[in-house]
Structure 1
Amino acid sequence: MNFYQSAGSLVLGSRLRRIGEKFLSEVAKVYEMKGIDFDPSWFPIFYLLDKNTSMSLREISDELGVSHSAVSQLTTALIKKGHLLMEKDINDGRKRILQLTPQGESLVETSKPIWSALQASVKELSALGDNRLLEELTTLENSLSERNLSDRVLEKLK
């Protein structure tokens, strides 16, 4: 048994980060081997814009549960690469609307077979099966949004 398995819930955050980093590294390797210039960190933006056609920075940030600044930095890089287009909202000049360019749409279509193969591969990897693993992660995320971990730990220390 390795350290992470023996330490159990004491290193849950570290273990999830380590698995996440390994996962993203392996996915990046697939894109590279297929000759597709796609960074796995771009996936959430491309996925949302493929499903919704256009979204504001705030909508993306809210949907992903990340800061407006993080979304802005990532989308700025994708605009420079020619994958996204940003325009002012016609009803609210302060609001910026993002959408895929034809180049971005082409990249999504080229990437979709990888996304499908990735889903199938993750399902094979999980002893719980794809849906049960994702359900457990959703339960964990929801529980942490209802009451954060630090409050739970501090309560137990009283």
Structure 2
Amino acid sequence: MKLFILVLCIIGVSCDLVPLVDDQTALVRASWNQVKHNEVDILAAIFKDNPDIQSRFPKFAGKDLKTLKATAAFATHAGRIVGFFSEITELNPTDSGVSAAKTLINQLAANHKGRGISKAQFNAFRASLTAYLSEHVTWDDNVATAWEKGFDNVYLVLFSALDGNPL
């Protein structure tokens, strides 16, 4: 589950996406930069909140989370997930940046659809990641709004692709 969702810094040019304004893009990037090096802790928090998501990973299913956190396989996968978000947040809010983000999100959807990952699991992932962020970064209403708007854009693309209609 290479993480899903991507974040936020998608600046919409399509009428379906609601563009982040410059200060929102800056808030998302700044807050992500506060935690992007906590890969293992981020994935562990998501698994703790969502054992059903952990069970979707054959390497991690049924294993003790504390023990898993110390393994190279867990760290590697956590790095992939966080790296995906890092890549999305760093894309420039230009037409080409939006296009690149859509491509990445559509690939994410294709990779996860075949594994039977549901929209509900993606939503649970989003909720857990948002909770992690709110507890580990400088968080206020403006940061919350920026992340919500960014996630909404990501999930619009993600869920469209899961439904067989990539944007």
Q: Settle same-fold status: TM greater than 0.5.
A: no
Q: Larger Rg: 1 or 2? A: 1
Higher helix proportion, which one?
1
Give the TM-score, by structure 2 length. Answer: 0.30
Higher strand proportion, which one?
1
Larger RCO (CA within 8 A; separation ≥ 6): 2
Give the TM-score, by structure 1 length. Answer: 0.31
